[in-house]
Amino acid sequence: MAAHTRRRRNPFRAFRYHPRLCLAAGLGLVIALLLPHDWRLTTRILAAWDVGALFYLILAFLLVESFELKRVQVRADQYDEGGVFVLILALTAAIASLAAVVLELGAARANTHEWFAVPLGVLTTVLSWALIQTLFAFHYAHRFYRGPGDRGSGLAFPQTEYPNYWDFIYFSFVVGMTFQVSDVQVTSTALRRVVAAHGVLSFFYSVSILALAVNLGANLL
């Protein structure tokens, strides 16, 4: 028990169980270093972020398509070890990318020939939003299959005893789009806190995107 507690207290071990996230981060870093150094720093950061985020989403899709119940059940605790730490870190990066979009568009206003600033900003916001929902979906899945205990499964899917990753993606994207749950019931207090945080984060992220779009539209008129 003590060993388990010590293992759980080391959040950096979580990277061992998140190879896709590490690969995506590594690819993004390589892209950032390879891009022309005469580009603005925000442009390089956003381009590298987009490549890394898209790469992660592709890997996530491949994982979803190859869902194996027994494998998920066995490795759920490992994948979600320190999962909160990794989730917070990734979400912070996603939100920071939105701030970088604001800086990029602001810097591009003085250079009207930089037409790529707007599509780059749009692509970044879309990929960041999708990344947030996907990360939450995997977090819900791994918490669900950790088995009985203080936290429990936390979710009840109608007429689905063993939901697959698509079920969790459905649940996560519904929360991300509507800031509420649909037909899936949240059955534990601990997970209600996670879902509430997910909904609040998605709400403010969406409001920020709307404000950014209005500001961009006003400048283009």
* DSSP per residue, 14-49: GGGG-HHHHHHHHHHHHHHHHS-TTS-HHHHHHHHH
Q: What is the pLDDT of residue 66?
A: 81
Long-range CB pairs of 19-26 (<8 Å, 24+ gap) are 20/56, 20/59, 20/60, 20/63, 21/56, 21/86, 21/90, 23/55, 23/56, 23/59, 24/52, 24/53, 24/55, 24/56, 24/59, 25/52
Q: What is the mean pLDDT of each run of 10 residues along the chain (221 residues)?
A: 46 68 92 91 89 94 81 64 66 79 71 70 88 90 71 80 90 93 90 90 87 70 59
Q: Report the distance separating Cα 51 and Cα 138, nearest Å.
A: 20
Q: What is the pLDDT of residue 2?
A: 40
Report the half-sphere exposure of 49 (CA within 13 A, side-chain side). 29
pLDDT tens digits, 32-86: 999 998 888 888 988 999 999 999 999 999 988 887 777 777 666 566 545 676 6
DSSP helix/strand/coil, 124: helix
